[in-house]
């Protein structure tokens, strides 16, 4: 059963642009050769890391969204682990999140929204009985007790 995954990996900052493109193409080829499908690949550019990883303070971020079997994802993770240029990676299964978001969206669309309620016409408002507002009588000050 194929599932959706996001694979984000960070490449060493001293890698050349051509090497980075070659590395990305290699991982995409691994996915397609294994029977998976690459939905999208996004090079997010060079960014500063939150903490030092393998003596690097920044790196090139790459985000791949794939549709694959679990065994293929394990193989991709193994390849990421042994590739020297990759300093950090994470894989997240996102199909459950997509299902949950679709369910919430469906629930929201099924509810009646206030803008969908019929508008009240002006003639209906003027036909309503008008109740006059009578101001309340001012309170009389209470008599103060006499001094003894």
For each successive 10 residues of the chain (148 residues), what is the average pLDDT?
A: 93 95 96 96 96 95 96 96 96 88 88 59 59 67 62
How buried is 26 (Cβ within 10 angstroms: 0-12 exposed, 13-18 middle, 19+ buried)?
exposed
Residue 67 lies in a domain: yes
3-state secondary structure of 105: helix
Residue 7 lies in a domain: yes
The domain tally of the chain equals 1
Q: What is the pLDDT of residue 114?
A: 56
Q: What is the pLDDT of residue 3?
A: 92
Residue 124 lies in a domain: no
Residue 141 lies in a domain: no
Residue 105 lies in a domain: no
Q: What is the CATH number of the domain that holds 21?
A: 3.30.70.60
Q: Which long-range contacts (CB under 8 A, 24 or more apart) does 96-101 make?
A: 98/4
Q: What is the pLDDT of residue 98?
A: 82
Q: What is the pLDDT of residue 101?
A: 87
Q: What is the pLDDT of residue 71?
A: 95
Domain span at 64: 3-96
Residue 12 lies in a domain: yes
Q: How far is the C-alpha of 61 from the C-alpha of 85, rounded, in Å?
A: 12
Residue 23 lies in a domain: yes
């Amino acid at each position: 059963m194929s599932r959706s995954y996001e694979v984000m990996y960070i490449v060493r900052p001293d890698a050349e642009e051509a090497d980075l493109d070659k590395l990305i193409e290699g991982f995409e080829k691994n996915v397609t050769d294994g029977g998976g499908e690459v939905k999208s690949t996004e090079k997010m550019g060079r960014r500063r890391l939150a903490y030092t990883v393998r003596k690097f303070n920044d790196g090139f971020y790459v985000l791949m969204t794939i549709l694959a079997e679990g065994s293929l994802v394990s193989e991709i993770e193994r390849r990421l682990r042994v590739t020297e240029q990759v300093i950090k990676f994470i894989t997240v299964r996102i199909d459950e999140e997509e299902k949950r978001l679709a369910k919430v969206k469906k629930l929201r669309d099924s509810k009646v929204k206030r803008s969908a309620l019929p508008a009240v016409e002006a003639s209906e408002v003027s036909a309503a009985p008008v109740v006059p507002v009578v101001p309340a009588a001012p309170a009389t000050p209470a008599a103060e007790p006499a001094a003894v």
